[in-house]
Structure 1
Amino acid sequence: MSQGFASSAPSEASNRVKLGWSHRLLARPEVGAAVAAALIFVFFLAVAPAFRSADALFTVLYQASTIGIVAVAVGLLMIGGEFDLSAGVIVTSAGLFNALFSYYLGINLIVGAVLSLVFCLGVGFVNGYLVMRTGIPSFLITLGSFFILQGANLGITKLVTGAVASPNISRMDGYDILRTIFAGSFQIGGITIWNSVLYWIAFVALAAWILQRTRVGNWIYAVGGNAASARAVGVPVVAVKIGLFMTVSFLGWFVGMHTLFRFNTLQAGNGVGNEFLHIIAAVVGGTLLTGGFGNAIGVAIGAFIFGMTSLGIVYAGWDPNWFRSFLGAMLVIAVLVNLYVKKLSTARKVG
């Protein structure tokens, strides 16, 4: 009897250890997105021969970076318990501000870029300040910002140029250096690698470090989980949330500069709808809509899924209109998976 009991005890202990590790793994916010990304990647490798080249992979990474850079900031803001529906349109506002201001006044594009940055940070500050001082949900405040910016983009562009597109900036002072910084690229073995991909990786790494290794990261999780409790233990809730809104505006400005100097001109109506892509990337990556849960790596994986799908459908020769249906399905599935992951995480903490 004792011999049988002794032989079974290590096995039971081993099972408990294995169960603990599996629960820890499943409780990671990015695990569900990583599994989905792997399955989607294998699927498109099988059905789309054009998807199998190294050049296609870096094209996917470029596509993902154009959404993923802003999505990093949107993910941080959502972890902090807020939304920003102006995140898509402010990208266009940033580029238009630079192009139109410099064109109309005849000043260097570098000066225009700095003033555009000040403008975007101001929008982020106002969004955050109004949310914190009025108590109005960020959904409504930033929805108002969305319409204001959208209308201003169209109205001011038409007023200055007589059209709905900015002038071509390729002959203006400061163009060459700003294009190199924001929209440069280089080749390795005949494969074009855009700087935006490297910037995206850097921003993801910085956000991951802030969330996991700094006091500010702890504050972000705290204000997203329970702002009242965070305030009670000395967390500067107002400063943290305003800072997060300004971070969204900053990275929106950054992508706006990339877009402007990548294509030399901007359509005033661009960017509408991209705010949902940023949110979907964050949610698919494991960020809860209720705040307080998620990480930067998961958001990056969510953006990579966007890049793979948007181009994979084209490479496969399918109707690209199906892309939106896929995004909707992924969003619903991600919300369900995230709730399950949150339960596992909570159970592990209680245990």
Structure 2
Amino acid sequence: MTTTEGIASVPAAAASKPGSGRLSRILRRPEAGAAAGTALVFVFFAAFGLHAGFLDTGGYVSWLAVAAELGIVALAVGMLMIAGEFDLSVGSVVAASSMIVAVPVAQFGWPLWLAIVLALAFGVLIGLVNGLLVVTTGLPSFIVTLVTLFAVAGAALSVSRTVAGTTTVSVTTSGFAHDLFAGHVGSFNVSLIWWLAVAVIGQYLLQSTGFGNWVFSIGGDLETARLNGVPVRTVKLRLYMYSGFSAALVGVIQAVEFNNADVTRGQSFVFEAIVAAVVGGSLLSGGYGSVAGIVFGTMTYSIVSVGIYYTGWNPDLVQLFVGVLLFVAVVGNNFVRRLALSRP
């Protein structure tokens, strides 16, 4: 099993007190504070948005739809953060991938499945480029992926105007490929299933495989990990390719679900994914985090961003809530870890 703490062990004296060791272990989990935060935020908006149907099926469908698409990207970005890296290019990859689906189908009559395969391959390629640039140049991933963010956005804008004559392309889809990416399970979007699937796979990889150990080792102490034989280059390349694939998957889902693509859509994912990971207990410095925590962080962010509309308050307050939420999450996560380590 892997360790998700990246911090010193709890003093042995804690084990001598009944229940203290178990409580300390729970508090040290990255998802502990995130789960509590999700519960508190949910209760808050349930109380103030009850009259508008926040607890009705439509309310759950609304914020879970937001959580699903954000969650797919946030899980990949969060895993990179655990390894001590960033990927700011996801916003542009989401937008460009949606255009890669819409333009060939609408303008040239391509089969939908072929355009989807091309879009997903594009995401993996951008991830590979990001990874290669990071591991070969030694430049901070923040800078490398920021450059990619602008480069992909500019290329998508130029190509869309040249080929389609517009930055927004409508597309009509149907059949199995449509149902796979934009169908429904009862009242809920199928994107929720995609989110749950990548969460389960991510949880298994981080907690039950050697690859997960490598991710935490790299984020905790890169040089020590390298000296201990961890294949740093390979791990980072795989994480960046996964991040690109995840962003492209969301781009595909959005294009098929909304029947259109826009080169400006998806830019909000750049920071929303990081916020969700941080609220979920991941450290910006790396070496600490969990898939469950990122899932809770994504849910918290989505409840806040959608729940405000059920309260009847000014929707402009969303950014204020998110800012306060991020601050409280960072302070709370640090407090919880220090509390766990200081228990006698």
Normalised to the residue count of structure 2, the TM-score between the two structures is 0.91
RMSD: 1.9
Q: 1:33-72 residue pairs with structure 2 within 5 A?
A: 33-49=34-50, 50-72=53-75
CA contact (8 A) 2:122 2:248 kept: no
Select the residue among 213, 228, 239 that pairs with 2:208. Answer: 213
2:188 aligned partner, one-letter code? I
Q: Name the residue aligned to 1:124.
A: 127
**Separation in 2, partners of 1:119, 1:345:** 44
**Separation in 2, partners of 1:121, 1:336:** 35
**Separation in 1, partners of 2:316, 2:299:** 19
Q: Name the residue aligned to 2:6.
A: none
Q: Name the residue aligned to 2:177.
A: 178
Question: Which of the two has higher C-alpha Rg?
Answer: 1
Matched positions, count: 330
CA contact (8 A) 2:14 2:21 kept: no
Distance change (3 Å), C-alpha of 1:19 and 1:115? same
1:227 aligns with 2:222: yes
Identity %: 38
1:30 aligned partner, one-letter code? E
Q: Secondary structure at the match of 1:272?
A: coil
**Separation in 2, partners of 1:341, 1:303:** 20
Q: Point out the more displaced range, 43-52 or 93-102.
A: 93-102
Q: Name the residue aligned to 2:293.
A: 298
Q: Secondary structure at the match of 1:223?
A: helix
Q: Name the residue aligned to 1:169.
A: 171
**Separation in 1, partners of 2:218, 2:340:** 18
Q: Secondary structure at the match of 1:52?
A: coil
1:92 aligns with 2:92: no
Q: Secondary structure at the match of 1:88?
A: helix
CA contact (8 A) 2:15 2:21 kept: no
Q: CA deviation at 1:17?
A: 2.6
Q: Point out the more displaced range, 23-32 or 339-348.
A: 339-348
Q: Point out the more displaced range, 97-106 or 266-275.
A: 97-106
**Separation in 2, partners of 1:256, 1:141:** 21
Normalised to the residue count of structure 1, the TM-score between the two structures is 0.89
Q: Point out the more displaced range, 317-326 or 132-141.
A: 317-326
Select the residue among 199, 221, 233 that pairs with 1:204. Answer: 199
CA contact (8 A) 2:199 2:295 kept: yes
Q: CA deviation at 1:253?
A: 1.2
**Separation in 2, partners of 1:151, 1:14:** 57
Select the residue among 327, 330, 339 that pairs with 2:322. Answer: 327
Q: CA deviation at 1:220?
A: 0.7
Q: CA deviation at 1:78?
A: 0.5
**Separation in 2, partners of 1:160, 1:180:** 28
1:80 aligns with 2:75: no
Q: CA deviation at 1:38?
A: 0.8
Gaps of 5+ in 2: 1-12
Q: Name the residue aligned to 1:134.
A: 137
Q: Name the residue aligned to 1:30.
A: 31
Distance change (3 Å), C-alpha of 1:344 and 1:132? farther
Q: Secondary structure at the match of 1:289?
A: coil
2:34 aligned partner, one-letter code? A
C-alpha deviations, 1:135-164, integer Å up to 9, x for none? 100000000011111112222111112122
Q: CA deviation at 1:104?
A: 4.2
Distance change (3 Å), C-alpha of 1:13 and 1:200? closer
C-alpha deviations, 1:105-164, integer Å up to 9, x for none? 432222122122221111000101100110100000000011111112222111112122
CA contact (8 A) 2:121 2:245 kept: no
Q: CA deviation at 1:346?
A: 5.8
**Separation in 2, partners of 1:232, 1:346:** 28
**Separation in 2, partners of 1:289, 1:14:** 31
Gaps of 5+ in 1: 1-11
Q: CA deviation at 1:15?
A: 7.5
Q: Point out the more displaced range, 310-319 or 328-337.
A: 328-337
**Separation in 1, partners of 2:264, 2:196:** 28
